[in-house]
Homo-oligomer: A and B are copies of this chain.
């Protein structure tokens, strides 16, 4: 190989508050050789997602926390460079959870084939991957929207939120997107077809919701938690559904922040808040992925990628993601 060194980003130390460059370190090693039944894969695109901040925390989560020195968690789209498996040949494109790495030797059972006919291969970790499927199942299975419902989605221009709002439109909802800049708001309204937007940095979310949806919010797809969730709880419709997908507003907090004790809102409106993980719907993923791909082909579902070129830029891009600096699905382009 011309590129004889394999690089990986590790969590060098556990961050307190917002992660810093110094919390990450590059670990170099030789490019591995695949054993029988294994593949040597080379990362094309690395997905950066907010949940990764959760893995850097020591507390209880749905997955094992990283320890200092561990390679950062994550899924990549990769190309098979050597195959010692009869199931894959050189040049096949796969998804694999090898973390922030350039190369890896992996069991052929641990990867999933990417079908390039569905769209650009980068979408396998975006609109046709974990973020798109999270949007699909969280909205449809947990949020259970009906035509005519008012749907609110936070982080509306993000990899998940943008898909949620568009599936809401496909299902006949009145869609309000909450985002952190006028540029993002304009994008989801003008390019993606959301009905209304609220810039939570410059507008008062609760009173805007009251104005835009006087009969209340039927479905809230919550990516952020915190004060935006509070504002929605102030404005719930009867029998509303809150799909709790993420709480990014507090991922960088070391202590649990304080907020109003507003579970009364669920009682008053006989509403439901429910947390979910995309993996709970794994047996349906192939069907839902095909449906997402179909909507893209019909022009009903658009997506935006925010591609940062260069493996070495991953920590910087990830720190920006947690700040809301990115715009669209954040990917690191690692090789051609």
Name A residues whose Cβ lies closer than 8 Å to a Cβ of B. 60-62, 222, 225-226, 229, 244-247, 250, 256-277, 280
- On whether the beta carbons of A266 and B275 are closer than 8 Å, the reply is yes
Q: Among B269, B271, B272, B277, which residue has its beta carbon within 8 angstroms of that of A270?
A: B277
- On whether the beta carbons of B247 and A256 are closer than 8 Å, the reply is no
How distant is the Cα of A39 from the Cα of B87 in the complex, in angstroms?
A: 83
Selected A-B contacts with CB under 8 Å, 20 pairs = A60-B268, A62-B267, A62-B268, A250-B261, A250-B264, A256-B260, A258-B261, A263-B273, A263-B275, A266-B273, A266-B274, A267-B275, A267-B276, A269-B275, A270-B274, A270-B276, A270-B280, A271-B274, A272-B272, A272-B273
- Which residue among A250, A259, A267, A271 has the maximum number of chain B CB atoms within 10 Å of its CB? A267
How distant is the Cα of A229 from the Cα of B261 in the complex, in angstroms?
A: 10
**Copies of this chain held together in the complex:** 2
How distant is the Cα of A32 from the Cα of B268 in the complex, in angstroms?
A: 35
- Specify which chain B residues have a CB less than 8 angstroms from the CB of A266 in the assembled complex: 244, 273-275
How distant is the Cα of A250 from the Cα of B272 in the complex, in angstroms?
A: 20
How distant is the Cα of A273 from the Cα of B269 in the complex, in angstroms?
A: 13
- Which residue among A261, A264, A271 has the maximum number of chain B CB atoms within 10 Å of its CB? A261
- Specify which chain B residues have a CB less than 8 angstroms from the CB of A269 in the assembled complex: 62, 275
- Specify which chain B residues have a CB less than 8 angstroms from the CB of A268 in the assembled complex: 60-62, 275
Q: How far is the CB of A267 from chain B (nearest CB, A)?
A: 4
Q: How far is the CB of A249 from chain B (nearest CB, A)?
A: 8
How distant is the Cα of A270 from the Cα of B275 in the complex, in angstroms?
A: 4
How distant is the Cα of A274 from the Cα of B265 in the complex, in angstroms?
A: 10
- Specify which chain B residues have a CB less than 8 angstroms from the CB of A270 in the assembled complex: 62, 274-277, 280
Q: How far is the CB of A215 from chain B (nearest CB, A)?
A: 13
Q: A269-B275, A270-B276 are in contact. List 9 more A-B contacts (CB 8 A).
A: A244-B266, A250-B264, A256-B260, A256-B262, A259-B259, A263-B273, A267-B276, A268-B275, A273-B273
- On whether the beta carbons of A274 and B275 are closer than 8 Å, the reply is no
How distant is the Cα of A259 from the Cα of B270 in the complex, in angstroms?
A: 21
- Specify which chain B residues have a CB less than 8 angstroms from the CB of A275 in the assembled complex: 263, 265-272
- Specify which chain B residues have a CB less than 8 angstroms from the CB of A246 in the assembled complex: 267
How distant is the Cα of A215 from the Cα of B62 in the complex, in angstroms?
A: 14
